[in-house]
Amino acid sequence: MALVSRAPMKPPKPPSPAHRHLHARPDAGPPMRRPAPAGGLRVGQRLVVTPTRYDEDGFAIAQGQRAAMAIWQGIAGEAAEVEVRHVGQHRIRSRFVGAAAPSPDRREPPCPRYEACGSCALMHLKPAAQRAVRLAALTEALSGLGVELPLLEALREGPDGEADYRHFVKLAVGRSDMGKIRVGAYRRGSHDLVAIPECVVATPVLRRAMISVAHHIIDLDLHPYDPESRSGILRHVMLRQSRADGRVLCTFVAGRNHRMLKELAARVMGSATGISGVWVHFNDQPGNGILQWGPEGEGPGFTLLEGVPLIAELVAGERLLIGPGDFFQINPAVGELLVRDVSAAFADLRAYPVVDLYCGVGAFTLPLARAHGYAFGVEVLPGAVLHATESAQQGHVGAEFFVGEATAQLAAVAKRLEGRPPVVVVDPPKKGLEEGVFDQLLALNPARVAYVSCEPQSLARDLRRFLAAGWTVRQLTAYDLFPETAHLETLAVLDPPTRPEAPATSLRRRVVRKPAG
């Protein structure tokens, strides 16, 4: 990393006597020596650097001899002045200040809270340049696999564009520097809160709901919950809007129960912001986790405070019920493109039943069950399975759902298949397929697999296992599901070395039953 100092560096001052205790050993021995700052840099120093790449979070990276520098609002290939904000042994954080010759890809971020919030790391890039960054990360992750199919030069995009696409937001409840209650997003690199009433990526309906909820929390003086002292009440607020009808489901996350939660629910329900139902989830545990799971691994619990319990989405012609805590795509328009593309990838294999691992509320399961005659879904969240089952019942779709970890439920799925080879959809979390799932999946003797991924590195790892087992990549498609960020969704369609014959008989339709497990 080529560093050009703007001013001569001065040696740091030794700590004053009043602050020496901060560096003392616990046993009151001699003070501990801090590691020397990487490259001799100090916080506040200004330099000129030229980053060469981006990391998985969208920071531009300049590689030095001792540490990498992550540059907020940096652009690979652009020589720019930056200000050092943090110096660690292995990583330096800095922010863009200016460039003598700005990159043609640079733009003024359209969000007034871009600098403070930090959620949309690529917003300083023009949309085409953002997409190039996302595709480059995917291409790099999949390089060396020997896959000859070229990736699309352009991502599959939805009609909602770069702004107003998020149909789900999470807000934290905390305090400002002056001690006042604040509701918003965590400031980049810290747990300080930034109010985001004009968030440009959230839908207009959610923006109004966010403003209303924050107003009523502050007006009712509902203090943030502190797990150490067990004081206060609220920790987080989650808001999800249906793209189909605009209704909003609101979930409070509280550290303890309090009569004012009911009052808060009544107020936000009456604020004419589209909020149709309000739930509460209790989490009194320390740490940053929003939802608290039960002691035996059962899913998080919720209590309805006001209004309707569920909202509904329409995906590929199927009506899906969604409740608090359920996973569903934050960008439903692009999510529907993905569902339709998976269905098209299986179009020549309609005689095979479907297995959908990590199925959530059934976004893939129900449309595929309609097309193939029968489908099985596996999901760890009991609430999502309950709502998927109810959606299947209401839609008269032949689908069964199993609640639990994929490794624990695949044996039950295999038993129900009775030797019939299926087609399989997997949409795992960022970490990819858990240990054991790959072997159990191959044991089903699938005719084709559609692997949906939100993380290029774990996708590459799992594709490598398929390729080693003789499978081939039939199709690769990337989706611009998260504009303004470094993330994207990918669909990989895989064929086995030898396709099993289609089942001679169809699965006997069952009345959709309660989830197994």
- 199 as an active site residue: the answer is no
Q: Are 157 and 334 in contact (CB under 8 A)?
A: yes
* Distance in angstroms (rounded) separating the CA atoms of residues 125 and 73: 8
Q: Work out the end-to-end distance of the chain between its first and last CA atoms, rounded to an integer number of angstroms.
A: 54
User: Do 63 and 83 belong together in one domain?
Assistant: yes
User: Do 482 and 432 belong together in one domain?
Assistant: yes
Q: Given this model, what pLDDT does residue 515 score?
A: 45
Angle of CA points 411, 416, 418, to nearest 5°? 100
User: Do 475 and 386 belong together in one domain?
Assistant: yes
Q: Given this model, what pLDDT does residue 329 score?
A: 94
Is position 326 within any domain? no
Q: 376 - beta bridge partners?
A: 355, 400
User: Do 90 and 147 belong together in one domain?
Assistant: no
User: Do 225 and 102 belong together in one domain?
Assistant: no
| Domain tally, the chain | 3
Q: What is the CATH number of the domain that holds 65?
A: 2.40.50.140
Hey, what are 285's tokens?
A: 């545990």
Which residues of 147-265 form beta strands (DSSP E)? 168-175, 181-186, 193-194, 234-241, 248-254
Q: What is the CATH number of the domain that holds 501?
A: 3.40.50.150
Tell me the whole-structure pTM to 2 decimals.
Answer: 0.88
- DSSP annotation string for 12-69: PPPPPGGGGGGGS-TTS-SPPPPPPPGGG--TT-EEEE---EE-TTS-EEEE-SS-EE
| DSSP category for residue 309 | S
Q: What is the CATH number of the domain that holds 253?
A: 2.40.50.1070
User: Do 377 and 265 belong together in one domain?
Assistant: no
User: Do 369 and 287 belong together in one domain?
Assistant: no
* Distance in angstroms (rounded) separating the CA atoms of residues 245 and 221: 32
Closest C-alpha among 323, 400, 410, 414 to residue 365: 400
Is position 322 within any domain? no
Q: Are 173 and 217 in contact (CB under 8 A)?
A: yes
* Distance in angstroms (rounded) separating the CA atoms of residues 486 and 173: 26
Is position 286 within any domain? yes
Amino acid identity, residue 6? Answer: R
Q: Are 399 and 377 in contact (CB under 8 A)?
A: yes
Q: Which of 257, 277, 312 is the last residue of a domain?
A: 312
Is residue 512 classed exposed, middle or buried when 0-12, 13-18 and 19+ CB atoms within 10 A define those classes?
Answer: buried
Is position 429 within any domain? yes
* Distance in angstroms (rounded) separating the CA atoms of residues 271 and 263: 13
* Distance in angstroms (rounded) separating the CA atoms of residues 355 and 337: 20
Return the biggest CA–CA distance within the chain: 84
Q: 321 - beta bridge partners?
A: 312
* Distance in angstroms (rounded) separating the CA atoms of residues 385 and 403: 6
Is residue 201 classed exposed, middle or buried when 0-12, 13-18 and 19+ CB atoms within 10 A define those classes?
Answer: buried
Closest C-alpha among 244, 220, 369 to residue 315: 244
User: Do 502 and 395 belong together in one domain?
Assistant: yes
Active-site residue, selected from the candidate residues 111, 120, 199, 454: 454
| Residue 197: HSE in the Cβ half-sphere, 13 Å Cα cutoff | 7
* List of the chain residues with pLDDT < 50: 1-36, 511-517
User: Do 148 and 174 belong together in one domain?
Assistant: no
Q: Are strands 80-87 and 91-98 parallel, antiparallel or unpaired?
A: antiparallel
Closest C-alpha among 312, 332, 339 to residue 323: 312
- Each residue of 142-198: pLDDT tens digit? 998 988 777 665 678 777 678 899 999 999 999 988 889 999 999 887 888 999 999
- 189 lies in which domain range? 168-292+299-312
User: Do 95 and 213 belong together in one domain?
Assistant: no
User: Do 240 and 214 belong together in one domain?
Assistant: yes
Q: Given this model, what pLDDT does residue 508 score?
A: 65
Closest C-alpha among 69, 74, 73, 65 to residue 87: 69
Hey, what are 54's tokens?
A: 């981006």
Is position 120 within any domain? no
Angle of CA points 512, 408, 504, to nearest 5°? 55
Neighbours of 504 (CB within 10 A): 7
Is position 323 within any domain? no
Contacts of 99 (CB under 8 A, 6+ apart): 78, 79, 80, 81, 106
Closest C-alpha among 69, 70, 68 to residue 59: 70
User: Do 433 and 341 belong together in one domain?
Assistant: yes
Q: Given this model, what pLDDT does residue 428 score?
A: 96
Is position 234 within any domain? yes
Q: Are 21 and 15 in contact (CB under 8 A)?
A: no
Long-range interactions of 179-182: CB distance < 8 A, separation 24+: 180/218, 181/217, 181/218, 181/221, 181/222, 181/223, 181/224
> Tokens 């990549």 appear where?
473
